[in-house]
Amino acid sequence: MPPVILAHRGSSGLFAEHTRAAYLQALADGADGVECDVHLTRDGHLVCIHDTTLDRTTDGTGDVADHTLAELRELDVSSWKGVSIPPTYGGQGEQLLSLGDLLLLLRRAGRPVGLAIELKHPSPFGLRLEEALMAFLMDEGWDPESSMIGGVEVSFMSFNPDSVRQLLESAPHHQVCQLVADIDPGEVREALRLGSVAEGALIDVLEGAQRDSEELIDQQVVGLAGPGVQYVRDHPDRVRQWITDGTRVRVWTVNTVEDARFLAGLGVQELTSDVPALILQSMAQR
């Protein structure tokens, strides 16, 4: 079976991430589903945005958590990319999407589609983020056994093991994904150079979080494992073992044909990609 392909923040290689255009393009590209990062607004709404702050992907500034949904709706979330958006996708100057907006878009896809929700931590709201998500989904008619809402199959992802444990209280095992960070030695070195963190503390934090994540997967506490491409290249035997144990492996963020073929060859079942059309095409050619 070729891997399931999820469009990372929509088809974000083409259109600004987390926009209606990026998500509509993902459906047009034939992606099996989409990945979406969520944060909570000051007034308790779930919104689709990657960063903690507004600065990189909107014309606003400051923290998402310090704004209401109404305030965030005033912002332009697409122009920063410098790519024109066709009128059929809603045109220029898109508004920020709530998770409800995205769910509605996916429910109208006319075919079954996956929605992989990544809960972003650290959140100023702590694990109230997970509570808010579960309350939202229940309101939307989510079935906790199948994890379906209409034709949309919902899965849950987090790098934070505490978030993952909390999600497992409500969501089915096979739909909860422990993400595993790629520890970038360059970034560690830079933090040490700046003296912003003591070496021992930094290594403890990095290795502790990494170890905790790996253990939740090794012990099959979760049904889905989410390593990055580099992690898989560095630890192929460990990832093979996860697959042998019956854990589904969902690798992020796969943007080259070479990586996609390597991962498919290893038996990885799911890939997230900014360029799903390219990856799907390369799979079809095999």
As annotated, the active-site residues are 8, 50
Q: How far is the CB of 272 from ligand G3P (least distance, A)?
A: 5
Identity of the residue, 4 or 111, whose beta carbon is nearer to Ca ion in the bound complex: 4
Identity of the residue, 187 or 245, whose beta carbon is nearer to Ca ion in the bound complex: 187
CA 177 – CA 193 distance, rounded (Å): 33
Identity of the residue, 8 or 45, whose beta carbon is nearer to ligand G3P in the bound complex: 8
State the residue number with the nearest CB to ligand G3P.
252
Identity of the residue, 76 or 182, whose beta carbon is nearer to ligand G3P in the bound complex: 182
Dihedral sign from CA coordinates of 123, 128, 130, 132:
negative
Q: How far is the CB of 118 from Ca ion (least distance, A)?
A: 4
- Residue 179 touches which of ligand G3P, Ca ion, none (CB < 5 to 8 A by kind)? ligand G3P
Size of the site for Ca ion (CB under 5 A): 2
Q: How far is the CB of 9 from Ca ion (least distance, A)?
A: 7
**213 alpha carbon, distance to own chain's centre:** 16
Give the list of residues 6+ apart from residue 231 with CB closer than 8 angstroms, or none.
180, 181, 182, 239
- Residue 94 touches which of ligand G3P, Ca ion, none (CB < 5 to 8 A by kind)? none
Contacts with ligand G3P, residue ranges (CB under 6 A): 8, 35, 37, 50, 118, 157, 179, 226, 252-253, 272
- Residue 272 touches which of ligand G3P, Ca ion, none (CB < 5 to 8 A by kind)? ligand G3P
Give the list of residues 6+ apart from residue 154 with CB closer than 8 angstroms, or none.
114, 115, 117, 137, 142, 147, 148, 171, 175
37 binds Ca ion, rule: CB under 5 A? yes
From residue 77, alpha-carbon distances to 7, 42, 43, 93, 94 in Å are 18, 18, 20, 7, 6
17 binds Ca ion, rule: CB under 5 A? no
Q: How far is the CB of 38 from ligand G3P (least distance, A)?
A: 11
Q: Is 96 left (phi over 0), alpha (psi -120 to 50) or beta?
A: beta
Beta carbons within 10 angstroms of residue 141's beta carbon: 9
Identity of the residue, 118 or 274, whose beta carbon is nearer to Ca ion in the bound complex: 118
Q: How far is the CB of 236 from ligand G3P (least distance, A)?
A: 19
Tell which positions 109-128 bind Ca ion, by CB under 5 A.
118
Contact residues: Ca ion, CB under 5 A: 37, 118
